[in-house]
Structure 1
Amino acid sequence: MYGSYAAAEDNSFSHAFPQPVILIDAGHGGIDGGTSHGDILEKDINLEIGRRLYVILRSQGYRTILNRTGDYALSDDNRWLRSRSRHLRDLAQRKQLSEELPSEIVISLHVNWGKNNSKRGPIVLHQSEGRSAFLASSIQNSLNNLYSTSSLPQIGKPFYLLNHVDCPAVIVETGFISNTEDRTLLNSKRGQQKIAEAIYGGILQYFTAI
């Protein structure tokens, strides 16, 4: 249904995806729940927003792949990297998918957490590269309009995905689960739809300008 990687395993990538795609990376999954608040888990929020973003992009004619369509860890699919670190296998698998599909841009969805529960709003992290920075700025502006914030995108230097993916990639921290206002938006179907629409608006601005 979601054009997942698994659905294409039996075909040549050159036949299944002859043109670049937008890869939506739904962060965490399976044993890795990500950050949380009570029984609200980041992995579930990432997946729900990812599903909605996928539907929007496909409905607008964009070739799109959602790399996780259920509650499972991508590290389970990685049997080629000899590492005892499940976290590293997970990250490496996400990076590998961006190369095999192949990807025009990568949108990695995550949720933030802070000790100060008054801290709120989206933050978009990008590579030290012009197209990635512009993609981040476009998505950040669109999400700022939704959240009524004025945050600026940031360079995500320590993040594996941004350092190892060759195409323009961004990590979208869609809000703070530790903040009551953000959490309400992140955990509701209506809020998840609005966030997905805002991210789409930024992607649309990027492709219109590029």
Structure 2
Amino acid sequence: MARVVFVRRRRSLKFMAAVLVVMAVFLAWSRYQGLKEEQAIQALSWAVANQVVVVDPGHGGIDSGATGPAGTPEDRINLAISQRLAEFLSQGGARVFLTRQDENVQEGESGDDLVERVKLAQKVKADLFISVHCNAFDGRERGAQLFYDPKSPEGKKLAEAIQAEIRRRLANTDRVPLSIDAFVLRTQKIPAVIVEVGFISNPREEKLLADPHYQRQMAFAIYAGVVNYLAGKGPGAEGESSQAKREAP
């Protein structure tokens, strides 16, 4: 009887060892694939060189946005992802401007925070405007989603390029970009999008969105979409951005 138990234990240990080996190989392969994909995107980073990009961390100040079930405020997640996105864009050679650098917002002469965000893009003659937000509805909805102005074909193409990278890299959504009437979109002559990075109202997604590693992944997915758009790998490499710049005073 003891020998039978011993043999079973040996088999069990061998099985566990085999499982661990398979897991180790899979993790190594995943890291290798991830590294290859990042290198592929970095190889196209010339596309963002000298581009002027305004990254807009949604909310801030007295308006913290939505709050997750565990108490995570949206404005902090928006800022964290926006700052990582700004780093990636800067490393690619873009000139990046954040509409806010911390928890505070600048209301400026207009006294309207949203107006000042758009005015910043106009002041620096931005090529792209990317606003980062978290969605909120109920605890079941999940997944990132892009929004663009219905009158902006290039905004739609930029949204499609970013949405495709989020879907491919994070596999957290089957959503598609939608048009929406939003002030920060309709008041701009350049490609502008709102990136709803996920539903903060979903407990599981709230936990992910608060994780710095996931924030980096999300920021890189957005960056990859921007690179593909500008490089012509995603939809539209030329359009409103260049036209608006030529028409700028």
1:121 alignment counterpart: 143
Give the whole-Å Cα distance in 1 for the aligned partners of 2:159 and 2:106: 25
TM-score normalised according to structure 2 size? 0.70
Deviation at 1:178, TM superposition (A): 1.0
Gaps of 5+ in 1: 1-18
1:48 and 2:72 correspond:
no
Question: Identity of paired residues, percent?
Answer: 33
| Structure 1 segment 112-151 matched on structure 2, within 5 A | 112-115=135-138, 117-127=139-149, 128-145=151-168, 146-151=170-175
Give the whole-Å Cα distance in 2 for the aligned partners of 1:59 and 1:163: 29
Moved over 3 A (4+): none
1 or 2, which has the higher helix percentage? 2
1:177 and 2:200 correspond:
yes
CA deviations 1:117-170 (Å, max 9, x no partner) are 11100110002211110000011111112133211100012x111111111100
2:176 alignment counterpart: 152
Aligned partners of 1:108 and 1:170 also within 8 Å: yes
Give the whole-Å Cα distance in 2 for the aligned partners of 1:152 and 1:33: 26
Indicate how the Cα distance of structure 1 residues 71 and 23 shifts in structure 2: closer, same or farther if over 3 A, else same.
same
SS of the residue corresponding to residue 147 of structure 2 reads strand
Give the whole-Å Cα distance in 1 for the aligned partners of 2:52 and 2:97: 7
Give the whole-Å Cα distance in 1 for the aligned partners of 2:82 and 2:100: 9
Superposition RMSD in Å: 1.3
Give the whole-Å Cα distance in 1 for the aligned partners of 2:126 and 2:179: 21
TM-score normalised according to structure 1 size? 0.82
Q: How many residues align?
A: 181
Aligned partners of 1:106 and 1:167 also within 8 Å: yes
Give the whole-Å Cα distance in 2 for the aligned partners of 1:120 and 1:49: 18
Give the whole-Å Cα distance in 1 for the aligned partners of 2:61 and 2:152: 32
1:195 and 2:218 correspond:
yes
